[in-house]
Amino acid sequence: MPSWVIDQYGRNDVLRFTKDMVFPIIHFPNEVIIKVHAASLNPIDLSMRSGYGATALNMKRDPLKLKSVDTEFPLTLGRDVSGIIMECGLSVSYFKPGDEVWAAIPPWKQGTLSEFVVASGNEVSFKPKCLSHTEAASLPYVGLTAWSAVNQVGGLNKSNCSGKRVLILGASGGVGTFAVQLVKAWGAHVTAVCSHDASTLMKKLGADDVIDYRSGNLEEELKTLPLFDFILDNVGGSTEKWALDLLKKWSGATYVTLVTPFLINMDKLGVADGMLQTGVTVGTKTLKHLFKGVHYRWAFFMPSGPSLDEIAELVDSGKIQPVIDEVFPFSEVPKAFLKLEGGHARGKTVIDVISKK
């Protein structure tokens, strides 16, 4: 089948188009095969193309070293899919061939820049009725990443979020644009930090206050505002040193970062030492901030069909809309990677897989 694959890690020139990729097969009774209508790119695709996280992901792919071939290549990238179910495993009762679905495929599985992809039934959800496949493909990975950070790790939901002050750092990327809409739909007061040229978009998505991180001293500017109940950090780096001072003390306020050293530690130190180093780091930081009266947490993408069901409801009710920067035909996947690599996208880069251009 037609696919974009890599045969080694590296820069954009490692991407290769093939018509001979092995057709996916159902190995477990809970799996489905999806015909891909549209996919989209995320920063993790750039990272995986360069080999980031390879140690951890290879362990997840073959934990017992049972495979006769000791390589992950040829590897298909792409995490988001919107498409149609072609085939179901024996224990799949929730879906049937012909259903329009969307999903985010975990990074240790073959990706969606392909004609067909295999997913577990519990990773799949019915596509929002109000979206085209191209629009729907822009949401699952960023939506589930934001959902994991805000809801599962941060503890916010529609019944406890009303009136809370939420700060989102790096608000104009894929996860940021989704998170702004999510907490706004739940009734929060949202402060979005982004560059000036994204401020109109942020206002359109519902942000109450928009702050340009280039306009002066961001830390000082944020300190003039009332304290926050929740901070989502998509930026990392030096922001972590001062952002926690912006939280209300001893009130259950939480800082959640999506920028973590987990996979880098395992790449550098190996699986055992990497996990140990990661555990020590997160444990030390959590305790240090707990003594100061705030919660410090890490969040990761988690595949989840049931969470996508809830996201689909919010989309169909008009509370969350896709934010798409550009759509590329399947023949121009390398160009789409370069676009993403250029940075400062306003929303998502989407691939129309069934277009014949």
Does residue 47 carry a pLDDT above 60?
yes
Range of the domain at 79: 3-139+322-352
Judgement on whether residues 21 and 112 belong to the same structural domain of the protein: yes
Kindly report the CATH number assigned to the domain that includes residue 14.
3.90.180.10
Please tell me the distance from the alpha carbon of residue 299 to that of residue 302, in angstroms, as a whole number: 9
- Reference 312, options 119, 143, 95, 112; nearest CA is 143
Judgement on whether residues 172 and 60 belong to the same structural domain of the protein: no
Average confidence score pLDDT of the chain: 93
Does residue 58 carry a pLDDT above 90?
no
Judgement on whether residues 217 and 290 belong to the same structural domain of the protein: yes
Residue 303 lies in a domain: no
State pLDDT tens for residues 228-248.
999 999 998 889 999 999 999
Tally of domains within the chain: 2
Does residue 21 carry a pLDDT above 70?
yes
Does residue 20 carry a pLDDT above 90?
yes
Judgement on whether residues 170 and 292 belong to the same structural domain of the protein: yes
Question: What's the whole-model pTM score?
Answer: 0.94
State pLDDT tens for residues 290-335.
878 999 999 999 999 999 999 999 999 999 999 999 999 999 999 9
State pLDDT tens for residues 175-209.
999 999 999 999 999 999 999 999 999 999 999 99
Does residue 261 carry a pLDDT above 70?
no
Judgement on whether residues 95 and 213 belong to the same structural domain of the protein: no
